[in-house]
Amino acid sequence: MKIGIFTDAYNPVTSGVVTSINMVEQELKRRGHEVYIFTTSKSVQPNDHQSLYMLGSMPLLIAKQYKNRVATFYSREVAKQIKKIGLDVVHTQTEFSLGAFGKIISRKYDIPFIHTYHTMWEDYVHYLTPIKLGRNIRLKHFARRLSRGFVRKAECVITPSNKTAKYLKYRCKVKNKPIYVIPTGIDIKPFKKSNFTDDERNALKNSLGIKENEKVILFLGRIAAEKSIDIILDQMPEIFKAHPNYKFLIVGTGPSEDDLKKQAKKLNIADKVIFTGKVAWSDVPKYYTLADVFVNASVTETQGLTFIEAMAAQIPVVCKYAPNLSEFIHNGQNGLFVHKNSEFKDAIANVIENKELSNTLIEGGNKTAKEYSIEVFGDRLETLYSEVIKLHKNVKDAQTKEERNEIKEKIYKEIDQKLKDI
């Protein structure tokens, strides 16, 4: 198959969406498919064997701290190149500029169009305006209308979690449109602890100012307000007071980094909190292996790939309860939930000090990580693409509206069952 991925976010930007796209590209190419990326200018090619097409773009004026870009909605030159390629399916990953271009290409060349809905935008409207007027109700309504309108012409929608699927269906009122939950898979092999020696881990610890006998509490990901790292940081003075041999390692970069550094100083714990800044993706697995526990207080994750990565690295997870996380985190089996912020300090210490509990969570997490492998992810995407291409052809050949509806109903049910069987 020839698959076109249309995205505003791509390398070198660091985000869950970019990670998901990288996983799609990696696994589908491994299976022999041709994958073409259509994105904004100033993106980078991770290797020489990639088909990358960039549309002219400019920095996004809002939420500038993310360094996102917005492209033109159409490129005649790129459209001509797409015609020569002969895409079998258009897969959009954004509701904005490149998503709009993907929709235009789908209509122009009569190509089936699938959309992955990654982000519940109403959770991010605080980046659009500093003024909170009724919690930005109007912007939230606009975000829902935008989401509903974008997927109207798609053959189907992919979401990474049931939480996102329910949001589209009930909050955005997306009706009569199949929504398939396909969690993003990860390549779990690079995260295995056995990939690194004790000497390598100790050398990295030493470079960060962490002694061999010190315990490491880890957050890894984008450093942004919605990640709620400040909540965890607030608990650290009491944790450090009870356990002087603990340190808090924050790996990553983002718009809230300076604020968190100021918070650490204000709490008089700056010497116990380590900020690494941006870390190369190839080095990320090694940082996981330094940890005795992985923590996250965010409740806005659509899936939370870092939880799966931590599990693959055999690191026990402690996180704030959220309905979408309960889809794959089971309290006391492969992770620990806290319901109140104040519960973090006891939960973290319990995991680090109670080896039996820690081993139970590690074992359960390892099993969960395997269920979210890139191979399973690839099986589901490959199945969906094949069935949607078949659906598009059969509907086009149908003579009446009733016949088209019957074909759609039949194939959508088949897709649902096939995805469940994988």
pLDDT at position 116 over 70: yes
Reported as a pLDDT band with limits 50, 70 and 90, residue 129 is low
Enumerate the domain spans of the chain: 2-186, 189-371, 376-422
21, with CB counted inside 10 A (0-12, 13-18, 19+), is buried
CATH for 189-371?
3.40.50.2000
- Tell me what pLDDT residue 304 has: 83
Two structure tokens written together for 333: 């089996």
Spatial CA neighbour of 296 closest among 314, 275, 320, 312: 320
Answer with the residue of higher pLDDT: 125 or 222.
Answer: 222
The fold adopted by the segment(s) 2-186 is Rossmann fold (3.40.50)
Q: Which of 38-42, 139-143, 283-287 has the highest mean pLDDT?
A: 283-287
CB 314 within 8 A of CB 365: yes
**Bridge pairing between strands 273-275 and 246-251:** parallel
Q: Bridge-partner residues for 273, per DSSP?
A: 248
Residue closest to 390 by CA, chosen among 45, 86, 81, 112: 112
Confidence of residue 143 (pLDDT cuts 50, 70, 90): confident
Span of 136-140, 204-208, 217-221 with lowest mean pLDDT: 136-140
Residue 25 CA to its chain's centroid (Å) = 15
Rounded to 5 degrees, φ, ψ at 45 are -90, 120
First-residue to last-residue Cα distance in the chain: 20
Query: Percent of the chain at pLDDT above 70?
Result: 94
Q: What amino acid occupies position 313?
A: A
Contacts of residue 189, defined as CB under 8 A and 6 or more positions apart, other chains included, come to 195
